[in-house]
Structure 1
Amino acid sequence: MPTARFIVSGKVQGVFYRASTREQALRLGLTGYARNRPDGSVEVLASGEAEALDALERWLQQGPPAARVDGVSREDLPEQSLRGFHTG
């Protein structure tokens, strides 16, 4: 399955960003994780259909209502087989 890593910057910690990302990813049929980074950003690794990854990227640019997203970077990675979608 295609896999991508996203780094989301802005006010994205302490606003249910990871939990909301998990809900969105599961709705899209994606696997992977969302986790806080020490610099205040959130890292999202997702694997699934290319269209679903594109839809997740669009959602990440907005995030949940309390978030303020300043930027989303994307790195396409070699295909990976991941299970579930976790937050950490």
Structure 2
Amino acid sequence: MKVGMVAHHYPHPAHREEFISRVHRVGEVFRQTPGCLSAECWVSGDAVVSIVQWESEEASAASFAVVQATAELDLAYDDRESRPREIVRLTAA
């Protein structure tokens, strides 16, 4: 069953372009993993939105393991963001 994730990130204006680049780099790694159907970066107002879809929950878990193990990716939540990330996990109906 297809699963997805929508994550809203809120970088401070001074870090917005850097954050968009970070999301694009993470998306590139997600797209290279088996079972990842898409990984995109969008913007909406002050939010940078990442949207990812996988073939299954197992593919999602495997993709996250690869992304978290990729040393050159910057996944840290820190003071470059103005508020906590909002992450919604989805399951196809």
Question: TM exceeds 0.5?
Answer: yes
Matched, 1:78 2:92: yes
Quick one: which of 48, 64, 69 aligns to 2:73?
64
Offset, 1:55: 4.1
Structure with the larger helix share: 2
**Cα distance in 2 between the residues matched to 1:72 and 1:51:** 22
- The structure with the largest alpha-carbon Rg is 2
Partner of 2:25: 19
| 1:37 partner letter | V
Do the aligned partners of 2:6 and 2:88 also contact (CA within 8 Å) in 1? yes
Offset, 1:57: 5.0
For the residue of structure 1 that corresponds to 2:31, the secondary structure is: helix
CA RMSD of aligned residues (A): 3.3
**Cα distance in 2 between the residues matched to 1:51 and 1:72:** 22
Offset, 1:31: 0.7
Structure with the larger strand share: 1
Percent identity of paired positions between Structure 1 and Structure 2: 9
Do the aligned partners of 2:31 and 2:39 also contact (CA within 8 Å) in 1? no
The change in CA–CA distance for 1:56 and 1:28 in structure 2 (over 3 A counts) is same
Offset, 1:43: 2.3
Q: Please, what TM-score do these two structures have when normalized by structure 2?
A: 0.53
Gaps (5+ residues) in structure 2?
A: 12-17, 78-83
Point out the more displaced range, 29-38 or 9-18: 9-18
For the residue of structure 2 that corresponds to 1:16, the secondary structure is: helix
Gaps (5+ residues) in structure 1?
A: 80-88
| 1:78 partner letter | A
